[in-house]
Amino acid sequence: MKPIVLYSSKSGNTEKIAREIASELNCRCEKIDETFDSTSIDLDNFDLVLLGTGIYGAKPNSELLNYLNEMNPKNNVNFALFITWVGRGTTDEAVYDEIKAAVEAKGQTLLENYYSCLFEGHSIIARVIGRFIFPDAKGHPTAEDLSNARKWAKEIVRSINDF
């Protein structure tokens, strides 16, 4: 299994999660921003692409969407999504659906099991339904958030290897 982590991050929270996942999987980690050269990565060299984004104005990061719209993998590549966000008037499901549409438009598959790191005031929300949701934006991601990101990444790799 050869994974890669590709992410966009404005606040740095998604970047922290991305680097933690890449460390756990011992794989390459690349930030997609306005200076990113999309030709520097041949997706056909990877079995799994872990995509990361925050939610901005109820949308995924525009640089990540632009990359997905420009990519042209020739082989079948599995994609998995991780999201960081503050719970104010939007849902992670809508962002998942938008990323899924972009990935599928290129003939690829976005796995249903995604990781969602929700920073929501001071209330505690923690549940597992194919994804993880966490509390309180200040001081996040916490050590627990990072630990759960590592667990999720290992679960994704294990599920692909078992398939």
pLDDT in tens, 41-75: 999 999 999 999 988 778 899 999 999 999 999 99
Burial of 79 per CB tally in 10 Å (0-12, 13-18, 19+): buried
Alpha-carbon distance 89 to 67, whole Å? 26
Rounded to 5 degrees, what angle do the CA atoms 85, 87, 91 make? 80
Q: What is the pTM of this model?
A: 0.86
10-20 pLDDT tens trace = 888 899 999 99
Domain total in the chain: 1
CATH number of the domain that 147 lies in?
3.40.50.360
Give the domain range for residue 61: 3-162
pLDDT over 90 for what percent of the chain? 60
